[in-house]
Every structure is written in C-alpha cells, then in structure tokens.
Amino acid sequence: MPAGAAQAAVGAVREFVKTNPRRLFSGCEHPEDGLNVSLFTGPTPGLYYVLLDPDFERCTGPRRRILDGWFFYAVTPRGDVVAESPGPPDEGVPAVPPPLQAPPAAPGEGGAEPPPSASANEVPAP
C-alpha cells in the first residue's frame, strides 16, 4: 500500500473521530477500534476515497451504534479531507413534496368549468 493511501485513511479516521461525540466511542480502548476502513482510488488523480464503517465489534457495548452505516471521504495523500459525502436527504434538509396537481379531465367527462353565476343585481339578457 502506498504511504499516501495510509495517510488518507488516517485523515478520514481523524475527521470522523473529531466530528462525532466522544460518547459514541465509549467502551473502545481507542476510538479507531470502532471503525472498519476501506480505501479506493477513483477518477480524480491525487485523491483517495475512504469508506468508514462504524462497527464496534472490538469494543464493549452495542456493536451497531449508528443507523446510517457508512461514511465516505475524499482525502489527499497527505491526509487532508477534501470532501465528505452528503447524508441522506432527510438529514438536515427539509424535504418539500412537490405541489399536488389534479390530472386533466378527459373529454366528455364533464370536466368543463360551470358558467359563472350571476350576481343578485344583474338582470338576465332576453
């Protein structure tokens, strides 16, 4: 494994530990014990893609502590995190449903609008 790949993995783990509450790692001798790490290269030269899977099997307490399982980071060979993948749409971003629209009426189904009603002061034309 290239040294830059190892540095990228370390950078992603440090970012994850730094941005999550310490209580998440309770029962772990070291916070890193609660993470499985996978490393990939991709279409962008000079970046590694690091997948972190929080799995606390090496710690005491519950094995799964996070519902949304994986975290992806784009990291330089020096260990600098460039980007983190966004979470699911329901995390921090209110989902706005599209406005409801009535389907168009088929011809002959009485879908025509009724004529406007006459006001009480109008006299009907002969």
- Give tens-digit pLDDT for 11-46: 998 998 888 777 777 788 888 778 888 999 988 889
Which comes out higher in pLDDT, residue 101 or 29?
A: 29
98-104, Cβ contacts within 8 angstroms, sequence gap of 24 or more? none
CA-to-CA dists, residue 58 to 22, 110, 122, angstroms: 16, 69, 85
- Give tens-digit pLDDT for 72-94: 889 999 999 998 886 544 545 45
Q: Where are the domains of the chain?
A: 3-84
Strand partners, 70: none
Is 0.75 surpassed by the pTM of this model? no
For 10, list phi and psi in degrees, rounded to 5: -60, -40
